Structure 1
């Protein structure tokens, strides 16, 4: 619902090119939501191969940022135009220069990732390329209901994102898998 909430604040068009930084649950959901809204040109950038495979299964072009320079990959993907919308879904300050430099002149940056530490930001690319920066936090009741409807209609899948289900008594094991990045999303059952 948080991905949906942020993306619904934007005027996405089917002809837009969308690049998502982050192969966690928020980025993976965002890749599906933009496709559900008719966008065909979607790239997801991350560095966990098993998560990138999931994104590819959703129809995104994927880039492993440990093997390819993300900005160069976006330039190739867009024939040098760069992306109309870049979604930051990592919450990692070190990604921001690549996010800003991957955005087309006059494009939009959507900040969905939660930054737990102060993130210094160079405003030069924002000014030079006349970028629009939009922040989004959590979701609304309406976004939650709309997300459930997308799920019900099969526009968004969770089967490959929810990788583990544990009884509540095994919360320690579940947290350890998440910490080691071996799970994407975990459900705990009472």
Structure 2
């Protein structure tokens, strides 16, 4: 089978490898679509601390069951979403139900071979059956949607709040959509990509072109000088690390979603004097993943508008370059 493998810094390879052999309690999934994530870009750049050379990448993917071993309600031909989180179940976070922050957390597509391949073996407990109305390309976006749902849930966001999102990538826009569906009075979102801002506007978000406008001034003007109730930082650079403090109201909350490649400088004094809270978020809970499936099955979110490219797996280099450039792409999918 064909598989996209990580070789080294900015070096990938499309290889012919053996189809995985499954054990009892596992399913062999024929992959339909796999999406490139920001974490995949960290692996591609050679800066992810866990990914090793030879890894089959991809943790956002969908498919159909080809084979199942062991007692299960799943059967060949079932359309499935895959939760890529593998938790130990024995550490303190796991015992308290927080499997997504497991002390020994592993991720399919990061620590274990993932979905940028024609077939992948998956533990049965990581599979979720999808209804027939869910398209396979939409199903590949369930994982980032779960991240957005978890992010908004973890925040102090309340109905009627004004929200600012720094970064209009797929996660940023999805956070904006969830906040809007949850009753946000206004969702401001900034980026330097005209294309991404246009897509954000199509979902009813208030776009701010950071190349042309001062984001902080725009937020102050929109909120009558108060600032946003919650700021979600989703871009992961020093510029947005500075902006998040200026955009938040006194006693507001900044939620850091990004995984920074380099530690940013944060002016804690500015936060201290205004009692600003700083929170972080990671991955998603099983409940969030199930909610993401429900949102898509019920047609509450137009996933189609977020998918900018569907490429054959042979065009893997083009796909990664599109995401690296970022200005003219959103969710890039490989058709396996």
Q: What is the aligned partner in structure 1 of residue 169 from structure 2?
A: 24
Contact 2:196–2:329 (CA under 8 A) maintained in structure 1: no
Q: How does 1:29-178 map to 2 (within 5 A)?
A: 29-178=174-323
Give the CA deviation at 1:149. 1.4
Q: Which structure has greater helix proportion? A: 1
Q: 1:148, 1:47 → 2: CA distance?
A: 31
Which gives a bigger RCO, structure 1 or 2 (Cα 8 Å, sep 6+)? 1
Would you say how many aligned residue pairs link Structure 1 and Structure 2?
190
Give the CA deviation at 1:154. 2.8
TM-score when scaled to structure 2? 0.55
Q: Secondary structure at the match of 1:107?
A: strand
Give the CA deviation at 1:101. 1.0
Instruction: Assess, with a 3 A threshold, how the Cα gap between structure 1 residues 125 and 151 changes in structure 2: closer, same or farther.
Output: farther
Mind listing any 5+ residue stretches in structure 2 that lack a counterpart? Answer: 1-145
Deviation readout 1:133-173 (Å, 9 max, x if unpaired): 11001222221111121222233222121111112121112
Shifted more, 3-12 versus 53-62: the winner is: 3-12
Matched, 1:188 2:334: yes
Contact 1:29–1:156 (CA under 8 A) maintained in structure 2: no
Give the CA deviation at 1:62. 0.9
Q: 1:154, 1:126 → 2: CA distance?
A: 40
Contact 1:32–1:155 (CA under 8 A) maintained in structure 2: no
Q: What is the aligned partner in structure 1 of residue 67 from structure 2?
A: none
Give the CA deviation at 1:108. 0.6
Root-mean-square deviation (CA, aligned residues, Å) is: 1.2
Q: What is the aligned partner in structure 1 of residue 24 from structure 2?
A: none
Dislocated runs of 4+, deviation >4 Å: none
Q: Secondary structure at the match of 2:152?
A: helix
Q: 2:261, 2:286 → 1: CA distance?
A: 25
Deviation readout 1:18-41 (Å, 9 max, x if unpaired): 010101111111110101111131
Shifted more, 140-149 versus 70-79: the winner is: 140-149
Rg larger in 1 or in 2? 2
Give the CA deviation at 1:10. 2.4
Mind listing any 5+ residue stretches in structure 1 that lack a counterpart? Answer: none
Shifted more, 174-183 versus 129-138: the winner is: 174-183
Shifted more, 61-70 versus 140-149: the winner is: 140-149
TM-score when scaled to structure 1? 0.95
